[in-house]
Amino acid sequence: MGLIGSLIIGGIAGWLAGSLMKGQGYGLVVNIILGLVGGLVGGWVFAILGLATTSVIGQLICATAGAVLLIVLARAIRK
């Protein structure tokens, strides 16, 4: 997937993670960053679990799961 595709998936994943976690809005740039980093974290976690993403939907689910995990960790550290 190219850079533009990764940015689009990252933005959507960040927005979905923010919506699922019922927090304040993060803004477009932070959503994209959150989704991109979440994709890396989600890919790492999915690899440990023996799961692979082979489609755009799978990549979106993986990035969203990773972004949600990042939000949970950030909230736990803040407390």
User: For 49-76, what is each residue's pLDDT tens digit?
Assistant: 999 888 889 889 988 898 888 888 888 8
Domain map of the chain by residue range?
Answer: 28-79
Please name the residue that has the structure tokens 């974290």.
Answer: 41
Residue 23 reports pLDDT greater than 70: no
Please tell me the distance from the alpha carbon of residue 75 to that of residue 73, in angstroms, as a whole number. 5
What average pLDDT does this structure show over 25-45?
Answer: 80
Q: What is the pLDDT of residue 1?
A: 66
Predicted TM-score (pTM) of the model is: 0.82
Q: Helical H runs in 21-55?
A: 28-49
